[in-house]
Amino acid sequence: MTIQSSTSNAPKAQRRTAFQDRILPAPKGMGFRQDGYWVWCGSVVQGEDRRYHMFAARWPKKYPFFHGYLAASEVVRASADGPAGPYSFEEVVLPARGDAFWDGRMTHNPFIVKCGEEFLLFYIGATYSGDTPSPEQMYALNSEPGGNGRVFPWYSSIRIGMARSSSVLGPWQRPEKPTFDIDPAGWDHGVVTNPSPCLAPDGRILLYYRSAGLGLAVATSPDAPFARQANGPVLDLGAGRWVEDPFVFWAHDHYEMVCKDLTGKITGEFHAAVHLFSDDGMGWHLAPRPKAWSRTIRWDDGSVTTQASIERPFILFEGGEPAFLFAATADGPGPHDGRPGHYFAENTWNMVMPLAMSATG
């Protein structure tokens, strides 16, 4: 994905079509799923072969969803002839490589970016020693009160990496040290996860990430280090109005963000999506109609379902405009017993929703 800048008289943020009005019915059978695996975190780029390549996370279904990713997730590549898919598995891109490496036992949260002639693959990694936990051990930990992933001792080892390649087919050069680490004395001393890079029109890379809130670090180029832009989160929407899983993009003359409403206090729907605007990528305000999409999905065959979750959004651009929204989704009964719906899912996959062109209001 390459974010295009523009000096044309593009419509201002407040005059653009509300994001929720741009979402078209989702084509059934498209996107990416794989038998025997939980599939999550899909991001897509068009390769030098003119085909479309999705980088996703998967882990065997013998492990629980959600927290099985901590023990056994790996980043894979799938491909398709068209942007919507369907995508077919091709290869494991970031396999386990031993507990001596910072990302040696788990890779997850892939986010692919085309930067000039180079492909940058952002992801999280973690390591732990000893044998891979058994499914029984993972299910026991998964049942801890609250289902909190931090009961896993290696959760705190999660860091952000950036693998590089001149080809979408690899080989991928993985960093020997994390590309972006925690600040032991800072607000994000616990963990840095959920990387979401945005290519700014001036060539900088804006890296949004989650810790105790949404943080922002910036690099002037792929070869430069990422520097934190604030001594705390860059997004404060008020008490209890928390978000995660941001996707940020440059929209001709401003930045836009779509992200997950963790509590439902912004959109009125638990785990729906939030739409925000920014002039500089630092100061954010809610769109006039802040609900970007619902977990209730219209499909192209006329059916309607309410998904247990719609997460990790990624937008594919065509001709410089948002064209396809990808998101990890899960079936199941939805949130109950104090847990999100994906805890009770039977299937997960990366779905796709076409987007209509924006228009002035």
CA nearest 269: which of 213, 331, 335?
335
Has residue 55 been placed in a domain? Answer: yes
Which residues are bridge partners to 112 per DSSP?
A: 121
Assess contact for 305 and 295: CB atoms under 8 A: no
Q: pLDDT tens across 193-207, in order? A: 999 999 999 999 999
Q: What is the CATH number of the domain that holds 52?
A: 2.115.10.20
Q: What DSSP element (H or E) covers 72?
A: helix 69-72
Provide the pLDDT for residue 338.
Answer: 65
> How confident is residue 2, by pLDDT bands cut at 50, 70 and 90?
very low
Residue 284 is assigned to a structural domain of this protein? yes
User: Residue 148's pLDDT is what?
Assistant: 52
SS3 136: helix
Whole-number Å distance between alpha carbons of 122 and 111: 5
Buried b (16+ CB within 10 A) or exposed e, 81-116: eebbbebebeeebbebeeeeebbbbbbbbbbbbbbe
Domain range for 265 is 13-354
Q: What is the pLDDT of residue 350?
A: 98
Of 151 and 88, the structure prediction assigns the larger pLDDT to 88
Quote the CA–CA distance of 81 and 95 in Å, as a whole number.
25
Per the listing, tokens 């002039």 go with: 279
Quote the percentage of the chain above a pLDDT of 90: 79
Q: Is the pLDDT of residue 166 over 50?
A: yes
Confirm whether 3 is domain-assigned: no
The residue assigned the tokens 């001596």 is: 100
Q: Is residue 2 part of a domain?
A: no
User: Between the CA atoms of 64, 104, 57 and 226, what dihedral angle is there, to the nearest 10 degrees?
Assistant: 130
| pLDDT(8) > 70 | no
pLDDT at 32 over 90: yes
C-alpha 272, offset from chain centre? 15
The backbone region for 167, taken as left when phi is positive above 0, alpha when psi lies in -120 to 50, beta otherwise, is beta
What band does 10 get if pLDDT is binned at 50, 70 and 90? very low
The mean of the pLDDT values for the chain is 90
Sign for the pseudo-dihedral over CA of 251, 323, 346, 155: negative
- Return the higher-pLDDT residue of 236 and 272: 272
Other beta carbons within 10 Å of 232: 14
Q: What is the pLDDT of residue 145?
A: 53
Task: Please state, in angstroms and as integers, the Cα–Cα distance from residue 176 to each residue in 64, 102, 159, 276, following that order.
Answer: 30, 8, 12, 35
150 pLDDT exceeds 60?
Answer: no
Within-domain flag for 295: yes
**Total structural domains within the chain:** 1
Number of residues in the chain: 361
Q: Is 33 inside any structural domain?
A: yes
Q: Does some domain include residue 359?
A: no
Q: How confident is the model at residue 343 (pLDDT cuts 50, 70, 90)?
A: confident
Q: Which of 273, 264, 270 is CA-nearest to residue 245?
A: 273
Higher pLDDT, 333 or 31: 31
Highest mean pLDDT among 72-81, 132-141, 147-156, 331-340: 72-81
Tokens of residue 42, six digits: 């899909």
Domain assignment present for residue 6? The answer is: no
- Check whether 273 has a pLDDT greater than 70: yes
Q: Which pLDDT value is given to residue 4?
A: 31
